[in-house]
Amino acid sequence: MTLTRDFFKIGPARLFVHFAVLVIVILWLIPTLGIFVSALRDKDQLVVSGWWTAFSGSSRTVAARLDQPDQQKQEGAVYVIAGNVLEGQQGRSIRAFGTRVQQPSAYKAGETADLGDGLSLTVASDGNYRYMKNAAFGPDDGGRRVYISVATPPEFTLQNYKNVLTSEGIGQSFINSLTVTIPATIIPILIAAFAAYALSWMEFPGRALMIALVVGLIVVPLQMSLIPLLRLYNGIGALLDAPSKTYPGIWFAHTAFGMPLAIYLLRAYIAGLPKEIIESARVDGASDFEIFTRIVLPLSFPALASFAIFQFLWVWNDLLVAMVFLGTDRDHLVLTGALNALLGSRGGNWEILTASAFVTIVVPLLVFFSLQRYLVRGLLAGSVKGG
């Protein structure tokens, strides 16, 4: 009763917000569920029906040929060619059949179709058929083509994932993406945390100017800075006679692109920490490094986790920076690049594309759901307390 009374105490505005959030969550979950179900379906069923029919079976129209006249038997005044158009196909049934491609479902299963000239055809739901004529079948009457609508039960398989992770090269690209994403998430967090502490609690000339510079760099488009950064990177590589396509290169590129936002978010949070804690540590003789490592870092974990989510998702889903700094050879191709190549070469193989897409999104989903409890806390705390 208490829960019921509390429910009716919720105002219309709050109830609308809850309803809107529920609708958004459902809209986001439906495509993910569709990809997951499609990746588990048999490829023959996937191409003929939507994922929402996966648990109710599907139907498709196929062509079959009846037996030749040498198989005919006389039954009273009629001649009959009998057989089964589903021979060797277990678990399937026929819903309808037809003798013309324009009308493949003209007759229901079990119904007798009058084909004219004394010919008739009956196809049962189990595939057994009787092709009858009131005279002996001639050479032109055999091997007739018939179209059948076949109902198939739901079929699920892990073969799609096996093909993707072994024969399609996605497995190596998955490892490449992890090799790029993990360091490109950790490095900017470490550097930005030091910078955020310095800009929050250390006094030095030009601090306000540096804060304004960081805020200004947030709005610089990646595409505008990509070419100058690449030229600088290639110049340093030529000077050191080092290879141009390396993992450290893309690590530092993602670090440079993610640093302004990281410093801004972490500074807003660290600056909002209680001033008394920092001053007490300094009175006790703690250095700035000790204050940072023993006090600030543990208290700033929500903010660190918030930025880690953003940076991980951004780097994992990146294609442009990866292609520029790593190239497109198979040994360095990231997951988004491999999936992009599949769209061009295997665009008709939906089972391959859906399995690849789910492999691509499963890691970001795990990262997000494992850290999402810190996301709102890390973002809002800095905005409320930030100095």
For 248, list phi and psi in degrees, rounded to 5: -55, -35
Q: How many angstroms separate the CA atoms of 21 and 25, rounded? A: 6
Strand partners, 98: 147
Number of separate domains in the chain:
3
SS3 102: coil
Within this chain, do residues 171 and 122 fall inside the same structural domain, yes or no?
A: no
Of 107, 134, 152, the domain-final residue: 152
CATH of residue 215's domain is 1.10.3720.10
For tokens 């324009």, name the residue: 102
Torsion sign across C-alpha atoms 308, 312, 314, 320: positive
Within this chain, do residues 15 and 36 fall inside the same structural domain, yes or no?
A: yes
3 state SS for 31-82: HHHHHHHHHHECHHHHCCCCHHHCCCCEEEEEEEECCCHHHCEEECCEEEEE
Q: How many angstroms separate the CA atoms of 329 and 243, rounded? A: 14
For 84, list phi and psi in degrees, rounded to 5: -140, 125
Of 37, 54, 71, the domain-final residue: 54
Provide the residue count of the chain: 387
Domain range for residue 99?
58-152
Within this chain, do residues 8 and 78 fall inside the same structural domain, yes or no?
A: no
Give pLDDT, residue 231.
82
CB 148 within 8 A of CB 97: yes
Of 152, 181, 213, the domain-final residue: 152
Within this chain, do residues 303 and 354 fall inside the same structural domain, yes or no?
A: yes
Within this chain, do residues 11 and 94 fall inside the same structural domain, yes or no?
A: no
Within this chain, do residues 197 and 264 fall inside the same structural domain, yes or no?
A: yes
Within this chain, do residues 285 and 147 fall inside the same structural domain, yes or no?
A: no
Within this chain, do residues 116 and 26 fall inside the same structural domain, yes or no?
A: no
CB 339 within 8 A of CB 356: yes
Within this chain, do residues 29 and 85 fall inside the same structural domain, yes or no?
A: no
Within this chain, do residues 91 and 24 fall inside the same structural domain, yes or no?
A: no
Q: How many angstroms separate the CA atoms of 263 and 194, rounded? A: 9
Q: What string of pLDDT tens digits covers the 387 residues of the chain?
A: 555 555 555 667 788 888 888 898 898 888 888 888 888 888 877 777 778 878 876 777 888 888 887 788 888 888 888 888 887 676 678 888 888 888 888 888 888 888 888 888 888 888 888 888 888 887 776 678 888 888 777 888 888 888 877 766 778 888 899 999 999 999 999 999 999 999 888 888 888 888 888 888 888 887 787 888 878 877 877 776 666 678 888 898 899 888 988 898 888 888 888 888 888 888 888 888 888 888 888 888 888 888 888 899 899 988 888 888 887 787 788 888 888 777 666 656 778 888 888 888 888 888 878 877 766 565 555 444 444
Give pLDDT, residue 382.
47
Q: How many angstroms separate the CA atoms of 3 and 70, rounded? A: 78
Within this chain, do residues 47 and 180 fall inside the same structural domain, yes or no?
A: no
Within this chain, do residues 64 and 47 fall inside the same structural domain, yes or no?
A: no
